[in-house]
Chain A
Amino acid sequence: EDQVTQSPEALRLQEGESSSLNCSYTVSGLRGLFWYRQDPGKGPEFLFTLYSAGEEKEKERLKATLTKKESFLHITAPKPEDSATYLCAVQVRGAQKLVFGQGTRLTINP
């Protein structure tokens, strides 16, 4: 069964304190791994797609990396506005739907 596990469930950081969120996955064949940001009461906002091990993508203070078993979302010098739930999802080869992890609730204190 295809599975996605995110850790930690929740993370509190001080402004400027860099850290990483983890997404471990077990799939029959990976087509793509997606990262989304979700604010309370809103739909997920697309951040990155990664397709192959070794791939990295960056956007402002965020950088996503991918290995054959997991992905990391690195956040550098975060600001309070980076507070949100970060969702990881995988798309299995031959399918269109996404399988989501439970998310990591990130809080950045000023």
Chain B
Amino acid sequence: GAVVSQHPSWVICKSGTSVKIECRSLDFQATTMFWYRQFPKQSLMLMATSNEGSKATYEQGVEKDKFLINHASLTLSTLTVTSAHPEDSSFYICSFISGGNHNEQFFGPGTRLTVL
């Protein structure tokens, strides 16, 4: 399957600071990428859909000014958590859709964010 990387794999920050998470597709150019959040023992919740060169589409209840998404190229998307608070602590996972007719979605390894 396709390879997706995320950086960093974990981060600890103080409340009020901003954190940027990078997601890269290593062997495929992705026009569409997704960002998910996962709380302990819960399933994945879609936060937003990111299309290269255009603004991201956010799911209901997700603050677009707090979770900034940039999909500047076909291989890189970033999620910036601005003015992070303890309730933003979670596991953030990116994914992208493969090409062709299969429309399969491949996920990154995730980033564990802890806000103190």
Contact = CB atoms under 8 A, between A and B. Distances in A.
B32 A49 contact: no
Contacts of A36: 107
Interface in B32-49: 32, 34, 42-44, 46, 49
A44 B103 contact: no
Contacts, number: 50
B97 A96 contact: yes
B56 interface: no
A96 B108 CA distance: 17
B30 to A, nearest CB: 11
B106 to A, nearest CB: 6
Interface in B63-93: 91, 93
Interface residues of B, number: 24
A44 B107 contact: yes
Contacts of A102: 42-43
SS class, residues of chain B in contact with chain A: strand
Interface string A70-110: 00000000000000000100010000111011110000000
Contacts of B109: 42-43
A87 B44 contact: yes
Contacts of A100: 43-44
Nearest to B6: A43
Interface in A10-43: 31-32, 34, 36, 41-43
Interface in A53-78: none
Contacts of A97: 34, 46, 49
B1 interface: yes
B103 A96 contact: yes
21 contacts: A31-B103, A41-B112, A42-B110, A43-B6, A44-B107, A45-B107, A46-B1, A46-B105, A49-B103, A87-B44, A91-B103, A96-B97, A96-B103, A97-B34, A97-B46, A97-B49, A98-B46, A98-B105, A100-B43, A102-B42, A102-B43
